A and B are shown apart, each in its own frame.
Chain A
Amino acid sequence: MENHLTENELIEYRFGLSSQEQQSISSAHLAGCAECRERLEKLKKKFAALDLLREDEHVSEELISQITAQARQPARVKVVQFYKSPWIGAVAAVLVACFVLLMSNLNTDKSNQRQFARDSKPEGRIVSKESGVKGQVQADSPTRMPAQDTNSKMEMATTTETAQEEATTRIVAKETSDLIAPTKVRAHDVTPAEIAAADASKPIPEQPPFAPASAIELVTLPRRDNVQLTIYNSADLTLVRERRNLTLKKGWNWLQFMWANTLIDPTSLSLEPLEQAGKIDIQQLVFPARLRELGRWLIRSEISGQVPFEITYFTSGLSWRAFYMGTLSQDEKTMKMQGYVRIGNNSGEDYDNAQTRLIVGQVHILDEIAQLAKRQYPYDRPALGIERDERLGERAAEITNGAVTLNYIWAAQSLELSRKDIKKEGLSEYFLYTIEGTETILNDWGKRLLSFEAEDIAVESLYKYDEERWGNQAIRFVKFTNDDKHNLGQTPIPNGDVKIYSHADEQSYMSYVGGTDIKYIPVDEEVELDLGPARLVEIAPKLMDFKTENYIFDNRANVSGWDEIRVWKIEITNTRTLPIQIEITRGFGTAYWTLQSETTYEKYDATNARFKLEIEPRSKHTLEYTVRTYHGTREESLTQ
């Protein structure tokens, strides 16, 4: 058949995107064209992948109740927020400034005219106002204008200049000291050295300013010189200590900082001078009304110049997790293990060249930092009941003390590419990992660093079968101990995810065996990694016989005791090419039982017996046992 349908036409047909007429044409063509039908089927199959995302989502009752609680409040009247549209504010500010200047000029003109009308000797006034400087110069000027006009223009010109001078002076005064009265000197006549000298001699007013009158008076945070991060893994918490050089002036200083788009907890902010502490006093931290995500420190300084400060605060969004990769040898008797530390930064802030320390251990926090950071205003506690991660705090681990430094063996190609050493040391209730040197951790980036590497860890591969715990399937475990004998034991192993691979063949092809998460493993502690169901080992228990006997009757001829006898046969099939060890645990539902079997067993607990077997490669083994359980008054016969 000619003119097969194109891929576009097939897509349009499949999703009903073409016109009715085109749909009919395509439909007719498909009815008679096997090739196009086949292509359509392939296309359908391709787009069936979209259904992988077709899972149902459910809204939590908590979310619904939050929304309905919001809805109980009256609907808000929309307010234009100028700070959200800075250009509106800027335009308004320019208009207001123009209006004020216009009005002041008009008033000046009017007052000058009135003054001229009242005063017959304008020059004298000018001289007295300007300390004789301008007035005299202008009065002695050889190019005199006709009397009345000249005087009027001189007065106006001088007043305008005076206004400009005053304006300049105000700015100088604000930049040097907030509350010192503006000195009536021309700005361009004063050198910075003179200003500094004048500053040093001026007394600092006792009363702090209520608030900065304008942005000119504010000092904003400069770039950080260095930063130290201490990241806790049990909670979404990071302590940031940073050092910045602030330029202070003598007197009262307002220091403004913002934390918009970050997850910093503003209530945790602390500022300390690292030098000249006796001359610098951090008075208060103010969160101005109606200004979101902004705070101002009021600092009283007896000195002018640069001072190093340390700023500390808590932030959220930085996290670290341990992560392990194990590679089993082909005979599954040894394993190579590599431990990594992953650091992620979603805090909204870039941290360049940060000295990074990682803490293992549980911290107790009242409120999540992320919630504190998201509050509209930095006071009061965040709303309760909006925690999203219930797993927080569950990763508690036992902490041991001790200090160990791991040395790694690697061939460094260059200094820049060499791996960072991670030092580990016990710290009171915590365990501290310090990453050598500094790390740049950009926002939205993550970084993985090697923590340790151990070769030839002797491991035991073990299969377990326990219907009560895992149903009708054997589960595979890998067992080792965190001690010297296993080439480990130098440090506790923090909780984290483990992925186990194995060498599938002699060509070193790898296959994924399974993964799990491990709890904190102290030194000398044994660990069993649960690798999930084993596909190549099958266990099939069969009940071969069941009977009851030894009935006991009470005075009323009712049955008061009896025995139940069950004969079980369990067939174990090992389809692997390696011998395996397997533990089969059988539960009897009662503590009164006796068991007979040719295979040795141990009483695992009151109600369970455990068989330990070794099964040869590609073989079947049958385990048989007879269990007698005692019921009612027959239980006494067992205890006697």
Chain B
Amino acid sequence: MENTDKSLIDAHRRGDPVAFGELVRRYGDSVLGYLIRMSGNREQAEDLFQETFKRVHEKAHTFHGPQFKGWLFKIATRVTLDGIRRGKRIKAVSLNQHLDCDNPNGEQLATVALADNSCNPSEQALKVEQTEQVRRAIELLPARQRATLILAYYQQLSYPDVAEVLGCSVGTVKTQMFRALKTLAHKLPEI
């Protein structure tokens, strides 16, 4: 029988080293996806990911259930917002990233075109360009609106769950979501 989140966190509190690993595996992909979309940078997201689970480990005694996922995302959101604030001063460097100030997408275009020969290169280039446009549009949203959009749309949390994660009312969540969508409606590319 599969262990519940509660039983895993209880086991972790008792000192079971396997339980924590199980929790990380269970929610890792989802949390990492959230952090990448929030930070727009995989390397920074991995740092935030480590910080999130470090806090989960340190604050495990404060979790009283029932929704572990909501509690986890709440921590991830706090870590991210702190990280984004700090990130304005401390910039992580991605070793994979090659800087091209004149054409930031140029290398991606070529890389993708080479990596995947399955379809038309111009279509691929267009897709990369559109993806980049979406990423930029989301990155330009204020942090709260971005968190709301990502939690509700990409992580598919219900609005009450998003409200729980962000520590605000459902009405506020809906307002933030509406503002985010309204902004995006003018910035998203036509596909």
Contact = CB atoms under 8 A, between A and B. Distances in A.
A426 interface: no
Nearest to B61: A75
Nearest to B22: A68
Nearest to B30: A57
A47 B184 contact: yes
B71 to A, nearest CB: 16
A181 interface: no
Given A11-B178, A72-B17, A370 B95 contact: yes
Contacts of A497: 106-107, 110
A70 B184 contact: no
Contacts of A346: 91, 93, 99
B96 interface: yes
A321 B110 CA distance: 15
Interface stretch (A212-220, A384-392, A481-489): A384-392
Interface string A557-581: 0000000000000000000000000
Interface string B168-191: 000000100110011011001111
Interface string A460-478: 0000000000100100000
B109 interface: yes
Contacts of A7: 185
Interface in A343-401: 344, 346-348, 368, 370, 388-389, 391-392
Given A64-B25, A388-B43, A70 B114 contact: no
B95 A68 contact: no
B111 to A, nearest CB: 8
Given A11-B181, A53-B135, A499-B110, A48 B191 contact: yes
A342 B100 contact: yes
Nearest to A388: B95
Contacts of B102: 448
Nearest to B102: A448
Contacts of B131: 52-53
Contacts of A47: 181, 184-185, 188
A229 to B, nearest CB: 15
Contacts, number: 174
Question: Most chain-B Cβ atoms within 10 A of its Cβ — which of A64, A67, A530?
Answer: A67
A49 interface: yes
A contact patch SS: mixed
Given A319-B98, A514-B113, A57 B36 contact: yes
A516 interface: yes
Contact of A53 (B46, B113, B134): B134
Interface in B32-63: 32-33, 36-37, 43, 46, 49-50, 53-54, 57-58, 60-61
B126 to A, nearest CB: 11
Contact of A516 (B28, B100, B114): B114
Interface in B58-112: 58, 60-61, 89-91, 93-96, 98-102, 106-107, 109-110
Interface residues of A, number: 69
Given A63-B50, A67-B54, A75-B58, A535 B120 contact: yes
Contacts of A236: 93, 95
Contacts of A63: 28, 46, 49-50
Interface stretch (A109-117, A439-447, A595-603): A439-447
A388 B44 CA distance: 12
B188 A59 contact: no
Contacts of B127: 52
A533 B123 CA distance: 13
Nearest to B186: A46
A392 B90 contact: no
B122 A11 contact: no
Contacts of A46: 185, 188, 190
A53 B93 contact: no
Nearest to A443: B91
A391 B49 CA distance: 23
B92 to A, nearest CB: 8
Interface string B121-141: 110010100110111001000
Contact of A499 (B54, B106, B189, B191): B106
Interface string A497-536: 1010000000000001011110000000000001011010
Nearest to A370: B93
A263 B94 CA distance: 12
Interface string A189-229: 00000000000000000000000000000000000000000
A302 interface: no
B127 to A, nearest CB: 7
A388 B96 contact: yes
7 contacts: A7-B185, A11-B182, A45-B191, A48-B191, A59-B24, A370-B93, A388-B43
Given A7-B185, A470-B117, A532-B117, 18 more contacts: A11-B181, A15-B181, A43-B185, A49-B188, A52-B131, A52-B191, A56-B29, A59-B29, A63-B28, A64-B25, A67-B21, A67-B49, A321-B98, A323-B100, A344-B98, A388-B94, A497-B107, A532-B113
What 3 A-B pairs are tightest by C-beta distance, nearest first?
A: A344-B99, A515-B110, A389-B95
